[in-house]
Amino acid sequence: MLRRIERWVKGPLFGCRMCGNCLLQETAFICPMECPKGMRNGPCGGSTPEKCYVDETRPCIWYRIYDRAFRMGRQEMLLEVLPPLDWDRVGTETWGDVVRSVRRYGTASFLQDRFSRDREKKAHSWEAVFRPVRQPDWWQGDSDYHAPAYDEPVSKLETELRSAGS
């Protein structure tokens, strides 16, 4: 039942593809699974703002994600390395994971922190609840941003991401 409700709500609002590994809060509330390659950490090398590398009839979804993230002031969320898709979860819901994470944090504490005027409390509660959802225990990858080895930025977007990260 929760899966049906999640699909009904998130599908039309965010383009959700029910991957079971929801990252909407990190990708400016645009589902990265709209990418034909299923890229979860940015565009592939052949895409441009005007066209997708795989399907040239459509724009690259990751350029929409970057654009919205910058307009929302959430570009720092794009610096985190996100885990690959857990194919065992595809077609399942993610809201149950969020509810369990809220319960572990403490439902009353989470609600109190979310309605607090203290920005640090709000940020802390959000991170405490959503980090375990987006960085599951099985993912042993690196969740830190590492600057590229070369000195010169290769694009305007990269220049903006670097300046946002510093």
* Cα–Cα distance, 116 to 18 (Å, whole number): 32
Using CA atoms, how far apart are residues 130 and 101, in angstroms rounded to an integer?
A: 7
DSSP state letter for 82: P
pLDDT at 144: 60
User: What are the residue ranges spanned by the domains of the chain?
Assistant: 2-93+136-165
Please report the pLDDT score of residue 153 as a whole number: 47
3-state helix, strand, coil in the chain (%, to 5): 45, 0, 55
Spans of the chain, pLDDT less than 50: 147-148, 150, 153
pTM for this model (two decimals): 0.73
